[in-house]
Structure 1
Amino acid sequence: MKFFFLLFLFLLTWQNLHSRTIKIASWNVENLFDMHYQGTEYEEYVPGRHGWSEAMLRKKLEHTAQVICDLDADVIGLQEIENDEVLSRLQRLLKRVGCPYPYRAVTGGRAPVHTALLSRIPLAKVRDLPVTRYGRQRPILEATLRLDPSLKIFVNHWRSKRGPESERILYAKALRKRLMKLPPSTEYLLLGDFNSDWEEFRIIDPKLNDTGGITGINQVMATTRDGRMVRYRDLKRGQREFLHYNLWLDLPASQRWSHNFYGNKEAIDAMLIPPSLADGRRWEYVRGSFGVYRPSYLFGIHGEILRWGYRHGKHTGKGFSDHLPIYARFQTLPDLPVKTSAPEAKKPLPPGRLQCHKVTITQLQKAESPALPLCLDNAVVTFKRGPHAVLQEEGKGPTILVYGAAAALKEGHRYRIEVEGFKRYHGLPEIVDLEPLKDLGRVDLAPYIPAFRPEMMNDPAARFRVVRDLEGIYRHRQLWVRQHAWPIHFRSRRWKPKEGSRLRIKRAQIGYYKGHPELVIWDRNDFETVR
């Protein structure tokens, strides 16, 4: 026993002495162009037009350098860099302000913007990975860090959503083809602006879906398997498979965004890791280290991302980018010997086989820190707005809130659901991450939406329930119904009625704010003012 303890102590000490941790980031800087006319510039960045001048370029470089310096990553992949000349200027500025990145790389070609890399670690090898032989697509940058053990980084900037999904699949197929040629144990990281959400296969815009629901980031890059997202535990079980884990899944679903397009929060920037970065040896992803860089100066007074300013046909010299940087940490572990054959428990489960304990919403409401995943059968979506929803057991059963994780669910449908994230907010249970395993079809919601009764506001069984048919007077942000008064919240400030208005509410949700009940109006059509 003493021998094993000393051996463990020796290995732990050895690991601490020889381990190295590095921070890797990715950021779309939004159109960093130089002042030399190439003929490929976007119209707004033609030198001498629209206020794009040497002075404006210096401001853009200073703002970009500020973010990179504060981010303090060892390696950062960049998107929307015009060429090596402007990257070199950024590199020199970073050195001048005390944030040196001695090594750089950028792809070539005739595209207006390219992918690039700044690094404090020497680069052993750099190459462009073309997407097609003759196209004008932006090449993927492949760089190998001069480390022991080595680590490859692929910097991506896939086709924007101005084009259909088939154009992003071109990038995915080119990348997959290259990865399949690497030795099975190769350690690499895929990062960049993929212009695809982490669950794109579930929420793809029908106007862009020219591939029958197949998406580049999910099916081609294998961040899904058997119709569900690949989870970190799947990497452990699939060491010999072509699989990738999207690091966005380390965060609650409501926090999965780095780009805000007119109020539509998207996770189009991403980092994907293969099983070789989760096998407990050599390079390893540090669990929980993935994040979005969100300093206050990157946001406006209304919470909007302060993108680079362009108004009335002129550059304003204000702002940064329409994307937020993302980052993660990776560390080296001892290269211990591994078994040549995987244990039986690590073999992939057959399609459709559940690997989670079945529970009811009643049991979830009582849970504190349940072991995940858990499975809910016959959960009815009685209400859905954006990424939020309410699930209810059949009949008059209890409800539970899905916060930020319901984008793929449909109101009025029954599901079999795998709960992947659970927390309590001011003591109330919430599902913050889930997998919709199977849509069991539509249901009639009429029995699930009862007429409002005052006693519901203090009834634990009515938490988050949707109710109908109530009428009252609006005064001081409260709805007065006879002798009762409850706070009422309108999801848009534009809907707020005048003081003393009589409201007839067709549908409202019994919500909770800091543990206190309130009525929530989610849709302008759910109420009217009665004269």
Structure 2
Amino acid sequence: MKIPVILLVILTFCGCSLDANAKEDTTFKILTYNVQNLMDDKLDGTEYEEYKPSASWNTDAYYQRLKKVAQVLSYRDIGLCDVLVLQEVENATVVEDLLRRHLARKGYIWFATAREKGGAISTALISRQKPERVLVHQVPSARPVIEAVFATEEGYVSVFAVHAKSQIGDPGETEALRLEMARTVTGAAGKDNDHLIVVCGDFNEDPDAFTQGSGNQTALIQTTSSEARPFMATGSFGITGMQEEVFADAWYSPFLDEENHFTLAGSCYFSGQWHRYDQFLGNGMLFDRKGWEYGSCKVIAPSFCSNADQTPLGWRVESKSGVSDHYPVLLTLVKTL
């Protein structure tokens, strides 16, 4: 089921000058960032227990948290983006507060949010340009996917914002839900095959999940695997790091490209291990030498978001310290010369 949705933040809420034209139009930049439970100060009934209004979690604490997240999104190594994709925001009110208090002055005025019925957290897509259309694709028993289509001078760009099921729970059951997300995106993306398509967000799965797993089907499968074709036929994303191998049903994965030199082993760190959960997948139009082309992909690790060992400084609600247990990841598209 597809639900069209678009929301506008009124600029007069901001009460500040607008810095909307500072970004060069030679790039199209997309950032994905799991902000780790960015909750508001209201009692809605779906929030996690520790975020119910109390002496420790209140309006002041909420505003401090918004400011810290905004500092990350405004970090110098990120600059101005065209699209921000966030995971684990509570609701549309949180996004509106984030923009009104901090980001609208930078031109971020359009946004959409979506969450699973009864869920505690939403996925958000924020942009500086009004999308031509925005759809929410429902995923059975899992978080919905937001699709936004942008009409640019260099052609259409379709961005799919995802937050796949986590690894918590029975491995077979959680993988089945990640596969449902992949099937939903693949089906929707097939209708935009003349667009440059970027699927981004927290996939809760590493690009090499199949080779590191038990042999069962995974939502991500490298095209070099002998299981790639049957898995792709039944919903998996076929992924490759070889630019010349990206074709109609195979997606480019920057994390698999040996030409990319990431300074960190992943974007998040759990149980003593790095993971590359926060990903971008792109279709063949990244390399067709027309319009927008792939430029770079980077994990952004500001020092104020990092522990001494360069792992992410996770948010701790009890002490109101830290930022997020994920780092943001930035994709830059460049204009064809």
For residues 103-161 of structure 1, the C-alpha deviation after alignment (integer angstroms, 9 at most, x for no partner) is 111114422111111212222211111002xx3x2111111124232211001000000
For residues 434-481 of structure 1, the C-alpha deviation after alignment (integer angstroms, 9 at most, x for no partner) is xxxxxxxxxxxxxxxxxxxxxxxxxxxxxxxxxxxxxxxxxxxxxxxx
Partners of 1:264 and 1:91 lie apart in 2 by: 34
Q: 2:12 — aligned with what?
A: none
Cα distance, 1:262–1:153 mapped onto 2, change above 3 Å: same
Deviation at 1:253, TM superposition (A): 7.5
Partners of 2:294 and 2:262 lie apart in 1 by: 20
The residue type paired with residue 77 of structure 1 is V
Matches within 5 A, 1:51-62: 51-62=56-67
The residue type paired with residue 267 of structure 2 is S
For residues 238-287 of structure 1, the C-alpha deviation after alignment (integer angstroms, 9 at most, x for no partner) is 3xx2110111124348834000113210001100011122111122211x
Check conservation: 1:91, 1:100, Cα contact below 8 A. Answer: no
Deviation at 1:201, TM superposition (A): 0.8
Instruction: Kindly report the root-mean-square deviation, in angstroms, between the aligned alpha carbons of the 2 structures.
Output: 2.2
Check conservation: 1:94, 1:100, Cα contact below 8 A. Answer: no
Deviation at 1:48, TM superposition (A): 2.3
Q: Does 1:284 align with 2:284?
A: no
Q: Which of 281, 305, 325 is residue 322 of structure 1 equivalent to?
A: 325
Q: Which of 19, 24, 34 is residue 28 of structure 1 equivalent to?
A: 34
Cα distance, 1:254–1:69 mapped onto 2, change above 3 Å: closer
Check conservation: 2:262, 2:298, Cα contact below 8 A. Answer: no
The residue type paired with residue 150 of structure 2 is L
Partners of 2:263 and 2:312 lie apart in 1 by: 17
Structure 1 spans left out of the alignment, 5+ residues: 1-17, 207-211, 335-531
Check conservation: 2:241, 2:254, Cα contact below 8 A. Answer: no
Deviation at 1:304, TM superposition (A): 3.2
Partners of 2:210 and 2:253 lie apart in 1 by: 14
Check conservation: 2:268, 2:311, Cα contact below 8 A. Answer: no
For residues 205-231 of structure 1, the C-alpha deviation after alignment (integer angstroms, 9 at most, x for no partner) is x4xxxxx5211122444334xxxx452
Q: 1:474 — aligned with what?
A: none
Check conservation: 2:203, 2:279, Cα contact below 8 A. Answer: yes
Q: 1:87 — aligned with what?
A: 95
Q: 2:238 — aligned with what?
A: 223
Q: Does 1:113 align with 2:117?
A: no
Partners of 1:174 and 1:48 lie apart in 2 by: 39
Q: 1:233 — aligned with what?
A: 244
Q: 2:14 — aligned with what?
A: none
Q: 2:50 — aligned with what?
A: 44
Q: Does 1:331 align with 2:318?
A: no
- Aligned to 1:284, the other structure's residue is in SS state strand
Deviation at 1:80, TM superposition (A): 0.6
Partners of 2:185 and 2:272 lie apart in 1 by: 31
Q: How many equivalent residue pairs?
A: 291
Q: 1:168 — aligned with what?
A: 178
Partners of 1:320 and 1:266 lie apart in 2 by: 18
Check conservation: 2:316, 2:322, Cα contact below 8 A. Answer: yes
The range that moved more, 253-262 or 153-162, is 253-262
Check conservation: 1:155, 1:192, Cα contact below 8 A. Answer: yes
Q: Does 1:203 align with 2:212?
A: yes
Deviation at 1:94, TM superposition (A): 1.7
Deviation at 1:194, TM superposition (A): 0.2
Partners of 1:174 and 1:66 lie apart in 2 by: 33
Partners of 2:237 and 2:199 lie apart in 1 by: 12
Structure 2 spans left out of the alignment, 5+ residues: 1-23, 222-230
Q: Which of 84, 102, 115 is residue 76 of structure 1 equivalent to?
A: 84
Q: TM-score, normalised by structure 1?
A: 0.52
- Aligned to 1:201, the other structure's residue is in SS state helix
Check conservation: 1:91, 1:102, Cα contact below 8 A. Answer: yes
- Aligned to 2:99, the other structure's residue is in SS state helix
